[in-house]
C-alpha cells in the first residue's frame, strides 16, 4: 500500500513538473497579476489625470475657476486650447482625457443674475480616469455656483457670516468606517486578486483531471493508485493544493505587510480562510468533473462561473442592487464566502463567532465531490472522450 501511495504521489508531481502550463498558471500568472494590481493602485486612487481647458471668457472669475480646478488632485491641466474643436481633436488624438469648457459670456451672465453654463467633456473609454475627471469637474462646477452666489450676495451688502449660513445651512461630517482613507486599492484589489486566484484554481483542477481523459491515460492513473479514486484524486490535487496555498499566503503577505491593507483580526483567521478557499475551489471543480465527464464542458462551466464571480459575488456590483434571482447565484461559488470573511475579519475586525458560518460553508465544499467520486471512477476506468 505504501508503494502505491508513493508511486501515485510521484506521478502527480511528475505530470505537474513536465508541463510548463502548470508553472505558468500556478505561479507566474497569480503572482505577477497580484503585484501588478497592488502596485497599480498603490496610491489609492487615480491622480493627476491629464485634461485640457478652453477658456473663452478670460476674466478674473474664469481665471479663478481655472486655479481652483488646478488644485484638485484628480486632474492636471496639461493643455489649453483656443476653441471647442481644438479640444475635441486633442481628446480624439489621446493627448488629454477630457477638457473643461468656459464660455465667453460666463462672467457676464454670472454677475448679472443669469444662469451661465459650464461644460465638461470626458472620454469614458477609460473608466477609472473618467470617473476621477467627472468627480473633479462636477465638484468644481458646484463650487463655482456657490462662489458666484457668494460674490453676488457680498456685493449686495450681506455679511460674510450670513452668506455662509445661506449657502450651507446644514454642515455634514462624513466618517468613512474601516477605510477612512477611501483607498480604492483596499476594496478593489483585496477582492479582485483572490477571485483571480480562485478562478485559476478551478481551471487548473479541471485541466489536470480532464487531460487524463483527453490523453487517454485515465486507466493508467487509476492503476497507479491501486484503482482507488480517493487516493488518485488526493495525490493528483495535493501538489496543487500546496502550491496554490503558498501562492495565496504570499499574496496575503503582500496585501497586509507590504502594501498595508487593513488587517483588523488575528492573521491566522485569514491564513485559514485562504487554505480553505483553495481546497473548496478544488472540490468544486472536482464535483463538476464528476457530474460532467467532458474536458471541454468542464472547463467552460468553471470558466463561466469563475468569471461571473467577479460580478455575482458582489465585488464590482453591490449585492443589494442586484436582481433578486441573481444574488443567490453568487453563493454557489466558494470565493463568495472568502469575500465575506475578508470583510468581517480583515476589514471590520468583528468577533470570529459571526464569521463562523462562512468557514463552515468552505469546509462543506470539501465534502461535495465525495458523493460523486464513484461516477468519476467509472468514467476513468471506462473513458468515453467527446471532443
| pLDDT tens-digit map of 272-308 | 999 999 999 999 999 998 888 888 888 899 888 888 8
Spatial distance between the Cα atoms of 361 and 347, rounded to a whole number of angstroms: 20
Residue 102: the pLDDT is 87
Say yes or no to pLDDT of 100 above 60: yes
Confidence of residue 143 (pLDDT cuts 50, 70, 90): low
| Least-confidence region, from 88-92, 109-113, 339-343 | 109-113
pLDDT at 336 over 80: yes
Q: What pTM, to 2 d.p., does this model score?
A: 0.77
Nine-digit cell string for 21: 502550463
Cell of 348: 471590520
Least confident of 111-125, 201-215, 256-270, 290-304: 111-125
Whole-number mean pLDDT of the chain?
A: 83
Higher pLDDT, 230 or 280: 280
- For residues 274 and 279, give the distance between their C-alpha atoms in angstroms, rounded to a whole number: 9
Residues 225-234 as b or e (16 or more Cβ within 10 Å = b): beebbebbbb
Domains and CATH numbers, the chain: 2-42+183-381 (no CATH), 49-167 (3.40.1710.10)
Q: How many CB atoms lie within 10 A of CB 67?
A: 10
Q: Is the pLDDT of residue 310 over 80?
A: yes
User: Over pLDDT 90: what percentage of the chain?
Assistant: 25
Rounded average pLDDT over 243-268: 93
Give 151's pLDDT tier (boundaries 50, 70, 90): low
Q: Of 335-344, 356-365, 377-386, which gets the smallest average pLDDT?
A: 377-386
Asked whether 252 and 175 are in contact (CB, 8 A), the reply is no
Mean pLDDT of 39-54: 76
Residue 25 CB neighbour total at 10 angstroms: 18
Q: Are strands 119-122 and 98-102 parallel, antiparallel or unpaired?
A: antiparallel
Task: Please check whether residue 26 is in contact with residue 243, taking contact to mean a CB–CB distance below 8 angstroms.
Answer: yes
Q: Is the pLDDT of residue 206 over 80?
A: yes
Q: For residue 386, is pLDDT > 70? A: no
Q: Is the pLDDT of residue 32 over 90?
A: yes
pLDDT value for 78: 81
Amino acid at each position: 500500500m505504501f508503494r502505491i501511495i508513493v508511486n501515485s504521489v510521484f506521478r502527480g508531481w511528475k505530470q505537474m513538473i513536465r508541463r510548463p502550463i502548470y508553472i505558468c498558471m500556478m505561479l507566474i500568472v497569480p503572482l505577477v497579476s497580484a503585484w501588478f494590481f497592488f502596485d497599480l493602485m498603490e496610491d489609492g486612487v487615480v491622480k493627476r489625470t491629464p485634461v485640457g481647458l478652453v477658456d473663452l471668457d478670460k476674466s478674473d472669475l474664469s481665471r479663478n475657476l481655472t486655479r481652483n480646478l488646478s488644485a484638485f488632485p484628480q486632474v492636471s491641466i496639461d493643455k489649453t486650447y483656443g476653441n471647442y474643436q481644438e479640444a475635441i481633436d486633442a481628446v480624439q488624438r489621446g493627448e488629454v482625457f477630457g477638457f473643461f469648457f468656459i464660455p465667453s459670456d460666463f462672467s457676464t451672465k454670472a454677475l448679472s443674475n443669469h444662469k451661465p453654463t459650464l461644460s465638461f467633456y470626458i472620454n469614458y473609454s477609460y473608466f477609472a480616469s473618467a470617473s476621477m475627471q467627472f468627480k473633479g469637474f462636477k465638484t468644481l462646477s458646484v463650487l463655482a455656483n456657490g462662489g458666484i452666489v457668494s460674490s453676488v450676495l457680498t456685493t449686495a451688502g450681506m455679511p460674510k457670516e450670513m452668506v455662509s449660513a445661506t449657502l450651507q445651512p446644514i454642515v455634514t461630517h462624513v466618517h468613512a468606517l474601516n477605510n477612512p482613507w477611501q483607498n480604492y486599492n483596499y476594496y478593489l484589489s483585496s477582492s479582485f486578486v483572490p477571485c483571480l486566484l480562485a478562478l485559476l484554481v478551478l481551471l487548473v483542477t479541471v485541466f489536470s483531471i480532464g487531460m487524463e481523459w483527453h490523453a487517454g491515460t485515465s486507466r493508467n492513473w487509476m492503476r497507479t493508485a491501486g484503482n482507488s479514486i480517493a487516493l488518485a484524486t488526493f495525490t493528483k490535487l495535493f501538489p496543487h493544493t500546496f502550491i496554490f496555498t503558498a501562492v495565496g499566503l504570499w499574496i496575503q503577505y503582500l496585501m497586509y505587510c507590504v502594501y498595508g491593507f487593513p488587517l483588523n483580526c488575528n492573521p491566522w483567521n485569514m491564513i485559514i480562510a485562504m487554505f480553505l478557499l483553495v481546497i473548496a475551489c478544488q472540490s468544486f471543480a472536482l464535483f463538476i468533473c464528476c457530474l460532467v465527464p467532458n474536458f471541454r464542458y468542464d472547463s467552460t462551466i468553471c470558466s463561466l462561473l469563475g468569471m461571473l464571480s467577479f460580478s455575482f459575488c458582489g465585488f464590482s456590483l453591490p449585492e443589494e442592487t442586484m436582481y433578486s434571482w441573481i444574488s443567490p447565484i453568487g453563493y454557489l461559488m466558494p470565493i463568495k464566502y472568502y469575500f465575506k470573511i475578508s470583510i468581517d475579519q480583515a476589514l471590520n475586525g468583528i468577533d470570529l463567532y459571526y464569521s463562523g458560518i462562512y468557514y463552515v460553508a468552505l469546509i462543506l465544499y470539501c465534502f461535495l465531490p465525495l458523493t460523486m467520486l464513484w461516477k468519476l471512477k467509472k468514467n476513468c476506468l471506462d473513458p468515453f472522450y467527446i471532443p
